[in-house]
Amino acid sequence: MRTSKKDHIRNAVVAGANLIPVAGGILGVILDKYLPSELETRKNRLIEDISNDLEEVKEKVSVDWLQSPDFISIFMKAFRGAIEENRHEKIISFRNILINTAISETDEFDEVTFYIRLVNDLTVDQIRVLHHVYSGRIEGGFDTKNENNVYREFQNIWPAVDQSYLMACITELIRFNLISSSNKLLKEKKTNKGHVLTGFGERFVKYIFSPIQISPN
């Protein structure tokens, strides 16, 4: 019987997932003894979701590419990141990285690897801040002469959030060069907002926020 492209895609996803050692040492003992059911449920759900994701873009996907060492390397990193998460925003971000990598067929992986690292390291609140900037949900812009207005704006959006924590979140996004208040960049983008996405930030958010849409609370 001839194997369909859908079966090839699912087999590639399952094969990649089975290569991943989820944990070792003491954590491995805890997982083996106390959490095998939860882990297996997450793994199976993720395999099904990613298989369906790739099925949606199958006309743009090469099965040979999915089975290549380069793609498998990215797959293992992103899959492991996703299986260790329970937050919707992060899981969707990892799935989007895999979709975009699958259809890009590029062997220049350093930037994509950095995307995975960022999704692993950023808090969900930081991802929500990026989504606000990305989707243009901040109204009115910011006074570019007073950078602190960006913090006050997000305090209005999340009044219960501690100011020092919020400042730490946004400062780190600046440090990663995802957003900037550079006057030169603001002029280039013709905006009065105090912070905008950098070129790197734009590439990053496009990779993690589409094609599956994230709707942070």
Q: Can you name the residues that pair with 179 across neighbouring β-strands?
A: 197
The predicted model scores a pTM of 0.77
Measured in whole angstroms, how far is the alpha carbon of residue 88 from the centre of its chain?
A: 10
Domain total for the chain? 2
Q: 152 with 197, same domain?
A: yes
Q: CA angle, corner 17, sides to 68 and 91, nearest 5?
A: 105
**Structural domain for 30, as ranges:** 5-87
Neighbouring CB atoms inside 10 A of 177's CB total: 12
Those residues with Cβ within 8 angstroms of residue 143's Cβ, 6 or more apart along the chain or in another chain? 149, 192, 194
Boundary (domain end) residue, out of 87, 116, 140? 87
Q: 83 with 131, same domain?
A: no
- Rounded-to-integer distance, Cα 69 and Cα 16, Å: 10
Q: Is residue 60 part of a domain?
A: yes
10-residue mean pLDDT series, the chain (217 residues): 64 62 54 64 88 90 87 91 90 95 76 94 92 67 45 80 90 90 60 72 93 77
Q: Is residue 54 part of a domain?
A: yes
Q: Is residue 53 part of a domain?
A: yes
Q: Is residue 98 part of a domain?
A: no
- Rounded-to-integer distance, Cα 48 and Cα 150, Å: 40
pLDDT score, position 66: 86
Residue indicated by tokens 């590029």: 106
Q: Is residue 146 part of a domain?
A: yes
pLDDT score, position 184: 64
Give the CATH number of the domain where residue 149 resides.
1.10.10.10
